A and B are shown apart, each in its own frame.
Chain A
Amino acid sequence: MAQAVADHPVTEQSGTNYINAQRGILSWLLTVDHKRIGLMYLVSTTIAFALGGFFALMLRLELLTPRKTFMDAATYNQAFTLHGAIMVFLFIIPAIPGALGNFVLPIMLGAKDVAFPKLNLLSLYLYWTGAIFTLSSLVTGGLDTGWTFYVPYSATTGTAVVKVTLGVFIIGFSSILTGLNFIVTVHKLRAPGVSWFRLPLLVWALYATSVVQILATPVLGITLVLLMMERVLHIGIFDPTLGGDPVLFQHFFWFYSHPAVYIMILPGMGIISEIIAVHAKRRIFGYKAIAFSSMAIALIGFLVWGHHMFVAGQSQLAATIFSFLTFLVAIPSGVKVFNWLLTLWRGSISYRTPMLFALAFMFLFTIGGLTGLFLGMLSVDMHLHDTYFVVAHFHYVMMGGTVVAFIGGLHHWWPKITGKLYSEKLGAASAALIFIGFNATFFPQFILGARGMPRRYYNYLDQFQPLHQFSTVGSWIIGLGMLVVLYNLLSSLRSGASAPSNPWGGRSLEWQTASPPVTENFEVAPKVTHGPYDFSTESQ
């Protein structure tokens, strides 16, 4: 394997790094080091993922039989609500920007930290506070509205709507602050030589994500405030009995939540661009196309929210326009997939764990994206809306896409974050388990949905049982795969070999500093003279 020459040879493991530079719990809680904050985000979001995953396994277990297996209907409602709310608000939105983004973005720019380090810490604290509010509902009556909090039900149910919406509101601030911080950092803290078109594509992706976070999240904020007011004071903005409009809530909600799906997927796409270029030792094909498609997705993504409301009494004209725009927004995603494929073509691919996850991503995300087009089609969506087809669609993009990209990225940067190498064998095994388990779980759901199985039900017609059981067994395989990931990564901390500064031969800046990096990232202030993907294996 041709090792790219590092521009700034690093004195291996000089001893101190960001992890052991200071000791004690307070040195973590009061840190302003973006790497430490990133690590705390990593631990927090992983815990959230485990909790959400636990609910997921329970849901699938309940669906093993057509009638009550072990939960009653009310418990099931609470379980899918908390599963969704935890996965969306506590895991997938904050995970990649908060954990990996915080860690690598400033290093990729050659900066010592993000622009506003204290604000960064505040955003972690807000995340924790919001998480506490959200999770407190677990012991105070649960929540059964679905993660979408639709009125009028959410204004009347006896469960803990206000606690959770308040939690989500607070987490929204955290999300805004992270986005704001990243945008300013990218504008103001690039090292000499890091021009806009020498930014690694992950940075472009995080930048586009931040734009969406800043523009969309405030609308969710005001929506949740109005919802809380409606519930506590009955002000009559959403409540139809007082003259309010529940459909207005849906518009507000999706005005945030469709762009939010791009908050979820864009960082994942950025990770995939990094992994594919580095592990195929190939200059990325169509750098600008990928960079601009991120921005295009971010902007067009604001104009398609109505596709969640095709059957909610929208005018035909509006529905047609939303349908058209939905097709439009799929184009930049397609552009990315083709660029990744062409990057792989004639690359010297090494099938290490990150690359395996990246390949899984490309396969799964493509299915997720294409089935989105089915749903964007008015006539088809009439039938598929609120069925398992939708459930399969968004799991293919969110789990098959974002979660797989996140795990791939975690393996890609793990040596950098911890200074340890994990077992490639176990890595490959976990990738295979997750890929197989994922398809086993969710592919049958496309068929179930097409045959009319509605979502959010705890029992079903007998004829659906074989596919449901298949799906449930698949969920156990995913669970096993996740445990292998966890074991592999954690055991590397104890017994893994120490990682060199540049294990994969990457060219972007994070590979030109020690693993793990020192507190202010670089021993010598970096100067950049080449692009992030100019590998020596290629004729320039």
Chain B
Amino acid sequence: MSTAETTARGGEQPALSPQFHVAHHFDSADTQFDAGRMGIWLFLVTEVLLFGGLFCAFAIFRSWYFDSFVEAHHHLDKVMGAINTVVLITSSLTMALAVRSAQQSKKELTAILLALTLACAATFLCIKYVEYSHKFHEGLLPGKWFSAVGFHTAHPGVFFAIYFMMTGIHGLHVVIGMILISWILKRTMKGEFSSRYYAPVEGVGLYWHLVDLIWIYLFPLLYLVG
């Protein structure tokens, strides 16, 4: 891909991304950019495997305790889950647009889009908080802590163990994502990114899409299929 400064709007613009320089051990900005992108993708692979273990546990326990899983999953709030899915998909859209506008050196637009992404992430967490507090209130908890009454099957506690581990670790990723987005938001406002240099925005964007994607699997599996 080309890093040519194609977007020079009028001759009087200040230099794009003034802080950016190619690190000493790369032969060109292109190599550096490609290396960074490859690093991010490899990191995402490790994330997929990390969640892979949890999905695997889900599949096994679901086949063992099918009835419990069916019974327990009716206690999840499908509406809230659905709203959260929409919220996260929206945030992925704003994130993708943010990356695009960073590539086009549109600083203000990038900042706005990143802020919107942050807002979506926060909304997601708030809804999750409401859901969690309901579960705590009703004793719909993992293993030893399960105390809800009126269940007809033997192992709803295992379902909630899986539920809390999966959504909890996913929630942690959302929090980390918010920190990363705030970081690039700050750097955007300082004018560090442009068509010449936008690798961090793209990297955080990729991470955010993965966080979103994982939820897109979690929602149907936990809330709808059970």
A residues near B, CB below 8 A?
111-117, 119, 176, 180-181, 183-184, 187-189, 214-219, 221-223, 225-226, 229-230, 233-237, 239, 242-245, 248, 252, 520
Determine the chain B residues whose CB is within 8 A of the CB of A189 once the complex forms: 25-26, 31, 35
On whether A180 and B50 interact (CB within 8 A), knowing A225-B169, A235-B142, the answer reads no
In the complex, are the beta carbons of B53 and A111 less than 8 A apart?
no
Minimal beta-carbon separation of B33 from chain A (angstroms): 10
B154 interfacial by beta-carbon distance below 8 Å: yes
In the complex, are the beta carbons of B35 and A188 less than 8 A apart?
yes
Extra contacts besides A180-B46, A235-B145 (18): CB < 8 Å: A112-B24, A112-B25, A116-B35, A116-B39, A188-B34, A214-B45, A215-B49, A218-B53, A219-B53, A222-B50, A226-B53, A229-B165, A235-B142, A235-B165, A239-B143, A243-B65, A243-B143, A245-B61
Stretch from B86-94, B156-164, B193-201, B207-215 forming part of the interface with A: B156-164
Q: Which of B38, B39, B57 contacts A237 (CB 8 A)?
A: B57
A213 nearest CB neighbor, chain B only: B46
Determine the chain B residues whose CB is within 8 A of the CB of A187 once the complex forms: 35, 38
CA distance A216 to B51 in the complex (A): 12
Minimal beta-carbon separation of B11 from chain A (angstroms): 35
In the complex, are the beta carbons of B143 and A117 less than 8 A apart?
no
Q: Which of A219, A235, A244 contacts B50 (CB 8 A)?
A: A219
Determine the chain A residues whose CB is within 8 A of the CB of B145 once the complex forms: 233-235
CA distance A113 to B32 in the complex (A): 13
CA distance A248 to B26 in the complex (A): 45
Taking CB atoms and an 8 Å cut-off, the chain B residues in 45-64 that contact chain A are 45-47, 49-54, 57, 60-61, 64
In the complex, are the beta carbons of A223 and B53 less than 8 A apart?
yes
Minimal beta-carbon separation of A58 from chain B (angstroms): 36
Determine the chain B residues whose CB is within 8 A of the CB of A245 once the complex forms: 60-61, 64
Minimal beta-carbon separation of A121 from chain B (angstroms): 14
Determine the chain B residues whose CB is within 8 A of the CB of A230 once the complex forms: 143
B60 nearest CB neighbor, chain A only: A248
In the complex, are the beta carbons of B49 and A248 less than 8 A apart?
no
In the complex, are the beta carbons of A235 and B164 less than 8 A apart?
yes
Interface size class of B (residues with CB under 8 A): 35 or more
In the complex, are the beta carbons of A180 and B43 less than 8 A apart?
yes
Determine the chain B residues whose CB is within 8 A of the CB of A113 once the complex forms: 24-25
Minimal beta-carbon separation of B52 from chain A (angstroms): 7
Determine the chain A residues whose CB is within 8 A of the CB of B43 once the complex forms: 180
On whether A184 and B42 interact (CB within 8 A), knowing A219-B52, A252-B53, the answer reads yes
CA distance A11 to B128 in the complex (A): 65
Q: What does the 1/0 interface line of B14-32 toward A look like (CB < 8 Å)? A: 0000000001111000010
B9 interfacial by beta-carbon distance below 8 Å: no
A111 nearest CB neighbor, chain B only: B25
On whether A218 and B155 interact (CB within 8 A), knowing A223-B53, A233-B143, the answer reads no
In the complex, are the beta carbons of B25 and A248 less than 8 A apart?
no
CA distance A443 to B137 in the complex (A): 61
Minimal beta-carbon separation of B207 from chain A (angstroms): 14
In the complex, are the beta carbons of B35 and A115 less than 8 A apart?
yes
Determine the chain B residues whose CB is within 8 A of the CB of A244 once the complex forms: 143, 158, 161
In the complex, are the beta carbons of B54 and A222 less than 8 A apart?
yes
Question: 19 A-B pairs, CB-CB below 8 angstroms?
Answer: A111-B25, A115-B25, A119-B39, A181-B39, A188-B26, A189-B25, A189-B26, A214-B45, A218-B52, A226-B57, A229-B165, A236-B143, A236-B158, A237-B165, A243-B143, A243-B158, A245-B61, A248-B60, A520-B24
Max count, chain B CB within 10 A of own CB: residue among A112, A119, A180, A217? A180
B152 interfacial by beta-carbon distance below 8 Å: no
In the complex, are the beta carbons of A217 and B46 less than 8 A apart?
yes
In the complex, are the beta carbons of A242 and B46 less than 8 A apart?
no
CA distance A222 to B23 in the complex (A): 34
Taking CB atoms and an 8 Å cut-off, the chain B residues in 124-149 that contact chain A are 142-145
Determine the chain A residues whose CB is within 8 A of the CB of B161 once the complex forms: 235-237, 244
CA distance A244 to B154 in the complex (A): 12
In the complex, are the beta carbons of B25 and A117 less than 8 A apart?
yes
Determine the chain A residues whose CB is within 8 A of the CB of B26 once the complex forms: 188-189
Q: Which of B34, B53, B144, B169 contacts A242 (CB 8 A)?
A: B144
On whether A520 and B25 interact (CB within 8 A), knowing A242-B143, A243-B154, the answer reads yes
In the complex, are the beta carbons of B142 and A236 less than 8 A apart?
yes
In order of increasing CB-CB distance, the 7 nearest A-B pairs are A236-B143, A234-B144, A235-B142, A112-B25, A222-B53, A218-B49, A218-B50
Minimal beta-carbon separation of A236 from chain B (angstroms): 3
CA distance A441 to B52 in the complex (A): 41
In the complex, are the beta carbons of B42 and A183 less than 8 A apart?
yes
In the complex, are the beta carbons of A184 and B164 less than 8 A apart?
no
A244 nearest CB neighbor, chain B only: B158
In the complex, are the beta carbons of A188 and B38 less than 8 A apart?
yes
Minimal beta-carbon separation of B57 from chain A (angstroms): 6
CA distance A216 to B53 in the complex (A): 10
Minimal beta-carbon separation of A324 from chain B (angstroms): 22
Determine the chain B residues whose CB is within 8 A of the CB of A252 once the complex forms: 53
On whether A243 and B24 interact (CB within 8 A), knowing A187-B38, A222-B50, the answer reads no
B162 nearest CB neighbor, chain A only: A237
CA distance A223 to B161 in the complex (A): 14
Max count, chain B CB within 10 A of own CB: residue among A218, A225, A245, A248? A218
CA distance A176 to B42 in the complex (A): 10
